[in-house]
Amino acid sequence: MTQRLHLVFGGELVTPSKNVFRDTANIHIVGMYPDYASAYTAWKAEAQRTVDDAHMRYFIAHIHRLRDEEQPASPTEELGV
C-alpha cells in the first residue's frame, strides 16, 4: 500500500501576493502527516494562529506526488546513492 505523506510548512512571505519566503532559513516545518485530513488539521491550526499577519502563510505539500512508483528509478537511485 502506498503511503500518502503530506508535509505542512510555512513562514513569512516577501509580499502576500506571491509565494516567495522572506527567509528560507526560518521556514517553520509543522510536520509530516500520513493523510490529508491530519495535515489539513495541522495546517488550519497554524493558519488560524497567524491569521492577523498577512505575510505569514502555511502550505500542504503532497509528498507522495513527488515519486511515481510506476516510473523507472533514476540512475543515481539505482546505485543506492
Q: With 70 as the cut, is the pLDDT of residue 75 above it? A: no
Residue with cell 546513492: 81
Q: With 70 as the cut, is the pLDDT of residue 72 above it? A: no
Strand partners, 29: 9
Instruction: Of 50, 29, 30, 27, give the one whose Cα is nearest residue 38.
Output: 30
pLDDT value for 53: 94
Beta strands in 1-81 (DSSP E): 6-12, 28-33, 56-62
Among 3.40.50.720, 3.20.20.370, 3.30.70.2400, 3.40.50.300, name the CATH number for the domain at 6-78: 3.30.70.2400
Rounded to whole angstroms, how far apart are CA atoms 57 and 69?
31
Strand partners, 57: 11
Give per-residue pLDDT as tens, 3-57.
789 999 999 999 999 999 999 999 999 999 999 999 999 999 999 999 999 999 9
For the chain, the structural domain boundaries read 6-78
Residue 20: which residues within 8 A CB-CB, separation 6 or more? 13, 14
Look up the pTM and report it: 0.78
Q: Which residue has the higher pLDDT, 71 or 12?
A: 12
